[in-house]
Amino acid sequence: MTSKEELLRLDDEGTEAWNRHDVDGFLDTLADDFEWTDDDEPAPVRTREDARRMMQAWLTAFPDMHIDVVNRVVGDDAVAGELRFTGTNTGPLVMGGATIPPTGRKVDTSGTYFVKTAGGKVSEFHTHANTFGMMAQLGLVGAAG
């Protein structure tokens, strides 16, 4: 069992790595046998190479991206959070096997994530982006309403 302080430190470490655009720093938070499940990917990510590719794709699409954790729940070995994601789409967006040309538009959207830990590292990482909201802000789909 990991203490709540250790869980918060690990969660903060992962978020800070994203905000520094430090791919290796983020990868260092992952256990050797991690699984990253993302709603926009066809299959879970289980290798560091694929995790690097996924993170780098987001950093390429949104070079000024920033993540703020706005709400968080901490359990015995898990953290769930709500986040705010901001950035400007100045690079190609690779998601779910498709490549979308840059729009030059800014996004300010939300998402949620779930982290389960083992041995002080992230063993499971589930990410749930507000993809439709982001695509609407990028002008790629019509706004709901």
Distance from chain centroid for Cα 22? 13
Sheet containing 106-118: order of strands: 30-38, 121-129, 106-118, 78-88, 66-74
What are the chain's domains? 4-137 (3.10.450.50)
1-5, 55-59, 113-117, 119-123: segment of lowest average pLDDT:
1-5
Helix (H, G, I), strand (E, B) or coil at 137: helix
pLDDT digits (tens, 9 = 90+) for 31-61: 999 999 999 888 999 999 999 999 999 999 9
Distance CA 61, CA 89 (A): 5
pLDDT tens-digit profile of 64-104?
999 999 999 999 999 999 999 999 999 999 887 889 999 99
The C-alpha atoms of residue 59 and residue 19 are separated, in whole angstroms, by 10
